[in-house]
Amino acid sequence: MSTILSGEKATALVVRALTRSKTSPDNAAAVARALVAAEFAGQAGHGLRRLASYCAQAVDGKVDGFARPIVERIKPGSVAIDAGNGFAFPALETAVDILPELARTQGIAAAGIRRSHHSGVAGLPVEALATRGIVAIMVGNSPPAMAPWGSNRALFGTNPIAFAAPLPAADPIVVDVSLSRAARGKIMAAGQKGEAIPENWAFDAQGNPTTDPAAALAGTMAPLGDAKGTALALMVELLCAGLTGANYAYRASSFFDDHGDPPGVGQTLIAIDPECFGAGAMARFAEMAVAIEAAEGARLPGRRRQEFARRLSADGISVDDDLMNAIRSLAGSEPKAADA
């Protein structure tokens, strides 16, 4: 059985749960927007299922629910944002608000976020920039899950890379990839069901390919593209942690529990004015989009997710009973004023 929640109802529940868990209303609202947007994007692993761990971490102090992002202008086209060991989403929203004007003034601009947390669906901040007419790239790191190629020591996170480009009179192109071959959540789900995993998804603690979910979770994730994937993961670590002062993956604690110090990871967003080279980029983007859509069987990156979001926005989010009960327990009863 399941419950259907509108976006507004889901948002209200998340805000209530977080504000009851040592989080300010403004920060709770930013987190709620991100979790609901993740559900609408079809990325439930970054959505409402994260709420319980977020609340536990805020209560424990692993995440500072009252942190306010601090913005420092370092160079004309760059800003450093200290997330204050709070949730990533207020800092990401701050970057999305600042970058368009900077990019239009400078041609290109960047925001580096440090002392941050789980950044959710990386495609969402770049898509938000693209809807404002800006070309955007985002990289972010996460706790250790992948080893350098040939090693079995996890030094890199699964480290998403996201890109978005605006299109005239159409939804943006959005590319969002994680650098592991499979999501860690899929391995956890296989373990819960007692199922084996494909041999190319993960390695055990000795660095050998494994089909055993428990051995995989004790080992490392297989990178997308083998050695090429770990090279890209290194690139992300240097861009979003080395460049910003955030923790490298191997120094970051888990996003999933309330144990240890704050993760302190980083994100870097790069914003580019499409007119920065005077090449008529918007028309050229449209030309490429038309060519892809005309290719039989092809689909523009981002279109499936955008269609999914429109459908869920109209039909609501389906939440299974176990998750719904957990959310209601965290959120408590509705205020009397809301019942009137």
Question: Would you place residue 335 in the very low, low, confident or very high pLDDT band (cuts 50, 70, 90)?
Answer: low
- Which one of 39-53, 84-98, 324-338 scores highest in mean pLDDT? 84-98
Tokens of 254: 């888990």
Q: Are 223 and 184 in contact (CB under 8 A)?
A: no
The pLDDT of residue 13 is 98
pLDDT of residue 188: 73
First vs last C-alpha separation in the chain: 28
pLDDT of residue 187: 85
Cα 136 → chain centroid = 15
337: pLDDT strictly greater than 70: no
Mean pLDDT (whole number) for 207-214: 92
Mean pLDDT of all residues in 97-102? 98
Mean pLDDT over 268-277 rounds to 98
Band the pLDDT of 340: cuts 50, 70, 90: very low
Residue 142 has pLDDT above 70, yes or no: yes
Sign of the CA dihedral 116, 82, 98, 75? negative
Name the region of 316 (left: φ>0; alpha: ψ -120 to 50; beta: rest). Answer: left
Check whether 338 has a pLDDT greater than 80. no
Nearest-angstrom CA–CA distance, 203 and 197: 11
Number of Cβ within 10 Å of residue 93's Cβ equals: 18
Q: What single-letter amino acid sits at 84?
A: G
340: Cβ contacts below 8 Å, ≥ 6 apart: none
Please determine, for residue 121, whether its predicted confidence score (pLDDT) is greater than 50: yes
Q: Are strands 78-82 and 108-116 parallel, antiparallel or unpaired?
A: parallel
Q: In the predicted model, what is the mean pLDDT of residues 59-72? A: 98
- pLDDT category of residue 115 using cuts at 50, 70 and 90: very high
Mean pLDDT over 165-190 rounds to 89
Query: Does residue 231 carry a pLDDT above 60?
Result: yes
The pair of three-digit structure tokens given for residue 109, joined into one six-digit string:
């601009």
Reference 86, options 265, 289, 208, 252; nearest CA is 265
What mean pLDDT comes out for the span 221-231? 94
Please, how many CA atoms are within 13 Å of residue 299, restricted to the half-sphere of its CB? Answer: 9
**Residue 26 in this model has a pLDDT that exceeds 70:** yes
Q: What is residue 217's predicted lDDT score, i.e. its pLDDT?
A: 86
State residue 193's pLDDT score. Answer: 79
pLDDT at position 229: 95
* 109: three-class secondary structure by DSSP: strand
Task: Centre a 10 Å sphere on the Cβ of residue 327 and count the other Cβ atoms it contains.
Answer: 22
pLDDT the model gives residue 339: 44
Side chain identity, residue 249 = A
Percentage of residues of the chain with pLDDT beyond 70: 98
Eight-class DSSP state of 80: E
| Contact criterion met (CB below 8 Å) for 223 and 146 | yes
266 with 260: CB under 8 angstroms? no
Per-residue confidence (pLDDT) for residue 186, from 0 to 100: 78
Distance CA 204, CA 220 (A): 6
Please give the pLDDT value at position 194: 87
Question: In this structure, are residues 316 and 40 in contact, taking their beta carbons and an 8 Å threshold?
Answer: no
* Token pair of 119 as six digits: 């950044």
- Give the phi and the psi of residue 227 in degrees, each rounded to 5: -60, -35
Element at 251 (helix H, strand E): none
Query: What is the average pLDDT score of the chain?
Result: 94
